[in-house]
Amino acid sequence: MLHAPCSNQSSTLHPPNTEFKAKHHTNIVLYSYLCPIMKIKTATFVISNTNHTLCPTDGKPEFAFIGRSNVGKSSLINMLMEQKNLAKTSGRPGKTQLINHFIVNEQWYVVDLPGYGYAKASKVQREKWEKFIVDYLTKRAPLMNVFVLLDSRLEPQQIDLDFMNWCGSKEIPFSMIFTKIDKLSSSALQKNLAKYKKVMLQSWEALPPVFTTSSESAFGREKILNYIEAIMSDSVY
């Protein structure tokens, strides 16, 4: 699993077995339900690289999307931005291999990251990815929130649980997004969500915000965009 040097991040989410700063998140979640949907006027590619020090330096807030290979990160970004080919997608795992910054409304960045757990990558390649992703996640000051994507069809996967626990240990604020909900019945979805909740609550005192999405039907778009806007409004930007 990912290992990293100490983080300089401040957190809005509790690490495992510590107190949950519920008030902050409750305000954000409430705000995101009450506000009209954030309009996406522009979204354009800015830069790809493997080095966090070469990412944009204007300090604009950014929101990153991570999860296992093929979980639907790039598709979700396209769905949120209402563009078909902004982020490159593929039916085969391992498509996104760099840190990709896209500027939205000239105000904030959406960041598409490579997936973890790509079985076919070589050990050397995997270690290289881990290093630059860990550096990015732990050292990137404008990173406001990491969206951890989870395949809604699957039972809780150890690699995802380890990743979220690692985020907690580094005080990296994150939220959970269950993807591809068009691929299962609503009762199967509810069953999987309940299982996830049960497993998470074994090591966490409360759950981070949870979203469900379909990039096919655009389900979940409004809630995620409003959540992002709420986080930015809560910060000094």
Ligand X SMILES: Nc1nc2c(ncn2[C@@H]2O[C@H](COP(=O)(O)OP(=O)(O)OP(=O)(O)O)[C@@H](O)[C@H]2O)c(=O)[nH]1
Q: Which residues bind ligand X (CB under 6 A)?
A: 69-75, 89-91, 93-96, 114-115, 179-180, 182-183, 214-216
Residue 197 Cβ vs ligand X, minimum distance, rounded to whole Å: 21
Could you tell me which stretch among 48-56, 60-68, 87-95, 207-215 binds Mg ion (CB under 5 A)? Answer: 87-95
Of 131 and 153, nearer to ligand X (C-beta) is 153
User: Two tokens at 52?
Assistant: 């966090």
By the rule CB under 5 A, 74 interacts with Mg ion? yes
User: Two tokens at 196?
Assistant: 């996830």
Residue 202 Cβ vs ligand X, minimum distance, rounded to whole Å: 26
By the rule CB under 5 A, 175 interacts with Mg ion? no
Please choose which of Mg ion, ligand X, none residue 170 contacts, taking the beta carbon within 5 to 8 angstroms, the exact cut-off set by kind: none
Of 117 and 209, nearer to ligand X (C-beta) is 117
Q: How many CA atoms lie within 13 A of 208 on its CB side?
A: 27
Q: What is the DSSP string of 1-59?
A: ----PPP----SSPPTTS---HHHHHHHHHHHHHSPPPP---EEEEEEES-GGGS--S-
Residue 112 Cβ vs Mg ion, minimum distance, rounded to whole Å: 6
Residue 224 Cβ vs ligand X, minimum distance, rounded to whole Å: 13
Q: Return d(Cα 235, Cα 237) in angstroms, integer.
A: 6
DSSP state of 199: H
Could you tell me which stretch among 78-86, 95-103, 164-172, 220-228 binds Mg ion (CB under 5 A)? Answer: 95-103
Q: Angle of helix 221-234 relative to helix 22-34, nearest 10 degrees?
A: 130
By the rule CB under 5 A, 96 interacts with Mg ion? yes
Q: Strand 143-151's sheet: what is its strand order?
A: 43-49, 99-104, 108-112, 62-67, 143-151, 174-179, 210-212
Residue ranges that bind Mg ion, judged by CB under 5 A: 73-74, 95-96
